[in-house]
Amino acid sequence: MIESLVIGLALALLLGMAAQKLHLSPLVGYLLAGVIAGSPQVSSVDNHTVEEFSHVGIVLLLFGVGLHFHFKDLLAVQRVALPGSVFNMLLHTVAGGAIFYAFTGCGWAAASMFGVCFSVASTVVLTRVLEDNRVLHTPSGHTALGWLVVEDIFTIVLLVLLPALVSGGSVGMALLGMVLKLVALVICVAYVGKYIIHRVLTHLARSASGEMFTLAVLVFAMGIAVLSSHVFGASMEFGAFLSGMVLGQSRFAARAASEALPMRDAFAVLFFVSVGMSFDWHGMVEQLPLVLAMLGFTIIFKPLTVWLSVLLLRKPMRMAVLVAGSFSQVGEFSFILGALAAGEWGLLDKAAVNVITAVAIISITLNPLLYRLLPGLIRALEKRGIGQGPAPAAVTPPEDSRYRSIVVGYGPCGEMLTGILRDHDMDVVVLEMNIDTVNKLCGAGLPALHGDARSRSVLQAAGCEQAKAIIITSSAAPAQEIASAARSLNPGIEVLAQTHYIRDARKLRSEGARNVISGEEEAAITMGVTLLRSLGATEEQVMQERRQLRRTLSP
């Protein structure tokens, strides 16, 4: 058993590192590790052992989903995420099932289940792609996450109801019994969470060591999962999701995430390894036409329908493209549904699950690569006037005797810079994504526009073509894209920006932005100067070293 775990985890580590080196998702490495571990040449790995431990990974994976689940995230983007995700899941289920039926001639239940497996995207992959491309905390990222929340809810409900649907007998009575059991389970978990979990964790947080707290979190997560299965007849996954939700609403959510979830990640790796071990290359070759059809469905048809849905819901082209691009993959929920459909429910055969695994491996590999092409696609469309939408109301053109500066972002830094510029009789226009801030500034008589500074139409409305400078005040803003859009309208505009990292500052400077402030750079210079002064250096020596540091850090 230990030998199987060591080999599986070691292969996952090595291939996960290789995947990251190639700027791919680590999931690709984990799945390939399973493929290698499951090959006849590596016969020492016990597939059954890895699969048993992977069940723990599934439970903890769903516990983590529940822990980070908040209805407020869904409510913030409900007008797009709710109708868009529901419509697309139904459409993808029908379309995917129709393709499966056309190739295999199976029954409607199997075809529908196969379509469902391709209607959901991977939480791990989507979040990682958005984060790597710095879109996670933008309106597009929030919309994609809200969309994913609806998919997760649908999948959880499906995990609960399908056993009742496939068990035979009266479907109505079975569903009624299941609903009553689920209500009882929710009430029980809520009671346990309020009166037991909270008190136990409070006691441990005060008096016990860190490992006791972590152990308690794992016991509650696994215990409620087992309780939901053996007492209430629901799936263990649903019980784990509920326990995560209960704990996620408490004051212990942050500590549970930081201390208990690393163990979830380790077991989740085994889950992906076990999926790879069940993959059959020969079976994929035999089902190659179906694999190619479903791959095209996943990376072309799904993003296309999501893109159209976002546009029909009257959102900008940029958001539609970025949201659609993040859904061109399938992942862990597809594996879970496929494995249960082939095992416990008897709806799919191993060949169908093999197709799901093959498409998942390929789509997870391609998704990050394809997503990096989207900003270029958006810029090309906007240059041709496609997808910019109606231009915002333009502000008053600058007077000949005054300089115009565009300030992107009105946080503390943006507010101070705006004050400095206005104190020196400069003409300032603020670009801000928070509509409440824009309304407040306009009410105070300060020109401000609500819009994405990467959009050429927004920059034109702000007077970018006549502006002397554009100042990007937030280090989290996509400075390179904003600078590129601004310089395409006004090649001579002065770009001032701040970034977290020196490497980003160097890249901006190489693209023509002369005044870039890096947090790392300024921290290093300030710490060096402070150290020299504490050691008794003269001001001349300090200034000389400051100049040398600037030449070194910002070539």
pLDDT tens-digit profile of 5-22?
A: 788 788 889 998 998 888
> CB 413: neighbour CB atoms within 10 A?
17
Is 1's pLDDT higher than 70?
no
Claim to verify: residue 221 and residue 323 sit in the same structural domain: yes
Q: Where is mean pLDDT largest: 41-45, 96-100, 123-127?
A: 96-100
Q: What is the pLDDT of residue 164?
A: 64
CA distance 93 to 112: 6
Claim to verify: residue 73 and residue 160 sit in the same structural domain: yes
Q: What is the mean pLDDT of residues 27-42?
A: 80
Note whether residue 51 is domain-resident.
Answer: no
Is 106's pLDDT higher than 80?
yes
Is 390's pLDDT higher than 60?
no
Note whether residue 271 is domain-resident.
Answer: no
Claim to verify: residue 429 and residue 302 sit in the same structural domain: no
Q: What is the mean pLDDT of residues 353-361?
A: 90
Note whether residue 276 is domain-resident.
Answer: no
pLDDT digits (tens, 9 = 90+) for 253-280: 777 777 666 777 777 787 788 778 878 8
Claim to verify: residue 440 and residue 488 sit in the same structural domain: yes
Reduced to 3 states (helix: H, G, I; strand: E, B; else coil), residue 405 is strand
- DSSP3 helix / strand / coil % (the chain, rounded to 5): 70, 5, 25
Q: What is the pLDDT of residue 15?
A: 92
Note whether residue 387 is domain-resident.
Answer: no
Q: Report how many domains make up the chain.
A: 2
Is 396's pLDDT higher than 80?
no
Please state, rounded to an integer, the average pLDDT across all residues of the chain.
Answer: 81
> CB 92: neighbour CB atoms within 10 A?
25
Q: How many degrees, rounded to 5, is the angle at CA 176 between CA 170 and CA 181?
A: 125
Note whether residue 536 is domain-resident.
Answer: yes
Is 477's pLDDT higher than 90?
no
Q: What is the pLDDT of residue 21?
A: 86
Claim to verify: residue 130 and residue 255 sit in the same structural domain: yes
Claim to verify: residue 360 and residue 411 sit in the same structural domain: no
CATH number at 128 reads: 1.20.1530.20
Q: What is the mean pLDDT of residues 51-68?
A: 73
DSSP state for residue 407 in the 8-state scheme:
E
Residues ≥6 apart with Cβ < 8 Å to 541: 532
Residues ≥6 apart with Cβ < 8 Å to 210: 259
CA distance 32 to 15: 7
Reduced to 3 states (helix: H, G, I; strand: E, B; else coil), residue 499 is strand
Claim to verify: residue 408 and residue 332 sit in the same structural domain: no
Q: What is the mean pLDDT of residues 214-231?
A: 81
Is 313's pLDDT higher than 80?
yes
The gap between the terminal CA atoms of the chain, to the nearest Å, is: 54
Higher pLDDT, 325 or 231: 325
Claim to verify: residue 351 and residue 230 sit in the same structural domain: yes
- Tell me the pLDDT band of 297, cut-offs 50, 70 and 90: very high
Claim to verify: residue 105 and residue 204 sit in the same structural domain: yes
Alpha helices in 343-373 (DSSP H): 350-371
Note whether residue 347 is domain-resident.
Answer: yes
Segment among 232-246, 284-298, 366-380, 470-484 with least mean pLDDT: 232-246
> CB 499: neighbour CB atoms within 10 A?
25
Segment among 92-96, 98-102, 215-219 with least mean pLDDT: 215-219
Q: Where is mean pLDDT largest: 295-299, 411-415, 543-547?
A: 295-299
Higher pLDDT, 139 or 320: 320
Q: How many CA atoms lie within 13 A of 178 on its CB side?
A: 21
- Tell me the pLDDT band of 192, cut-offs 50, 70 and 90: confident
Q: What is the mean pLDDT of residues 87-98?
A: 95
Claim to verify: residue 306 and residue 253 sit in the same structural domain: yes
Q: What is the pLDDT of residue 45?
A: 62
Note whether residue 29 is domain-resident.
Answer: no
Q: What is the mean pLDDT of residues 166-185?
A: 66
Last residue of a domain, one of 345, 380, 415: 380
Note whether residue 10 is domain-resident.
Answer: no
Higher pLDDT, 439 or 149: 439
Domain that holds residue 499: 404-553
Q: What is the mean pLDDT of residues 298-326?
A: 91
Claim to verify: residue 323 and residue 182 sit in the same structural domain: yes
Q: What is the pLDDT of residue 401?
A: 45
Residues ≥6 apart with Cβ < 8 Å to 435: 450
Is 479's pLDDT higher than 80?
yes
Is 505's pLDDT higher than 50?
yes
Is 171's pLDDT higher than 70?
no
CATH number at 540 reads: 3.40.50.720
Claim to verify: residue 423 and residue 504 sit in the same structural domain: yes
Last residue of a domain, one of 380, 413, 445: 380
DSSP state for residue 392 in the 8-state scheme:
P
> CB 307: neighbour CB atoms within 10 A?
19
Cα separation values, 386 from 320, 337, 383, Å? 13, 39, 7
CA distance 242 to 186: 7
Q: What is the pLDDT of residue 352?
A: 92
